[in-house]
Chains A and B, each alone.
Chain A
Amino acid sequence: MTLRTRLLDQAVGRAMSTLSATAKKGLGDPALAELVVIRASQLNHCAFCLDMHLALARKHGVSEQQLDLLAAWEEAGDVFGERERAALALTEAVTVLTDGFVPDEVYDRAAAHFDDIRLAHLVGLIIAINNWNRVMVGRRIPPGGHTT
């Protein structure tokens, strides 16, 4: 498994960073943001992204138990609250589009926990990390080397 290329157009990188930062800011919940970003990175198998965001999650005070059980959050009892579960269900639906759409029950559940503005930013964040996942996996960027 070797690196393919580190090239990334500067304007693309800047726009992606802005996209992530504005979405995260609008969501207004840094710990939840990291849970969402890590779950998407697990689904997309992005090693670089997992390495970086696990470090960030710890920095934002996400518990080791939540990080350990994130891949099985649905079966993890009360380790995750209803708001977190609604966000994680939405993350999975928006990330795995190729199996078909975002079901009404998943969308409505998220809409019950997040107002329109936060929901728009939550989806923006899920999409931003999906974008990073593709750009990192596509170029096979190895884990490590981030500045967190």
Chain B
Amino acid sequence: MGCFAPRVEIMTTTDSTDSTAGTTTTEYTPERPVRLRWAEHAPEVYKAMIRLDTAAKQGLDPKLYELVKIRASQINHCAFCVDMHSKDALAAGESVERIIQLSAWDESRHFYTRKELAALELTEAVTVLTDGFVPDEVYERAAKHFGEAELAQLISAIATINAWNRFGVTFRMAPGNYQPGQHK
């Protein structure tokens, strides 16, 4: 995973009337090294996570779950996960607009279905538990769009992306190198 050299972007301007025309180089800060390759040190834990991931997404609409995964990863600041799930969503045909608007979904509701909005609201409540519980109105709104078993499964799925987020952030897994479909 990862080369730690700075990413370099070279921009060439071709406007001949611009006296500053020429080549400018933007050097980004270097990629930080991963803290620990946890899966190599705890392979049984990694295997259990893969099994949990496979089980938790059963019966859920993959398109909806991808939105849930991106939103939870945003809230938990998991850079690796945001990179991975945005790329996976794009590769699966999700629109750039709906991915961009996710961090402000409450103000851009017309990009999403009512069912998606209820799932996003539940995602936030289940993710930010330390601020207090999952409000009745949030749960009940979700219950209007999901059957009991499907809703229980959605909660498990939200918990599972939270788990991946915590591994990604704690061990500082580096974003940017993921290729869509790599971890399917």
Contact = CB atoms under 8 A, between A and B. Distances in A.
Decide whether A and B assemble into one complex: yes
Interface of A: 4-5, 7-9, 11-12, 14-16, 18-19, 22-23, 26, 43-46, 93-98, 100-102, 107, 111, 116-117, 119-121, 123-124, 126-128, 130-131, 133-135, 137-140
Contacts of A101: 77, 169
Residue from the set B36, B49, B75, B170 with the largest chain A CB neighbour count within 10 Å: B170
B170 A9 contact: no
B1 interface: no
Contacts of B159: 130-131, 134-135, 138
Interface string B1-43: 0000000000000000000000000000000000110100110
Interface stretch (B86-94, B111-119, B148-156): B148-156
A98 B127 contact: yes
Interface string B110-131: 0000000000001001111111
Interface stretch (B62-70, B95-103, B160-168, B174-182): B160-168
**Interface range on chain B (Cβ under 8 Å from partner):** 35 or more
B55 A97 contact: no
Given A18-B48, A123-B171, 6 more contacts: A15-B51, A98-B75, A111-B36, A131-B52, A134-B155, A137-B126
A139 B152 CA distance: 7
Contacts of B44: 22, 26
> What are the 6 closest A-B residue pairs judged by CB atoms, nearest first?
A11-B55, A15-B52, A134-B159, A120-B41, A120-B42, A19-B48
A8 to B, nearest CB: 6
A120 B156 contact: no
Given A22-B48, A123-B167, A135-B155, A100 B148 contact: no
A15 B153 CA distance: 13
Nearest to B129: A44
By secondary structure, the A interface counts as helix
A94 B169 CA distance: 8
Contacts of A130: 159, 162-163, 166
A98 B76 contact: yes
A4 B77 CA distance: 29
Given A117-B41, A120-B45, A138 B36 contact: no
Nearest to B128: A98
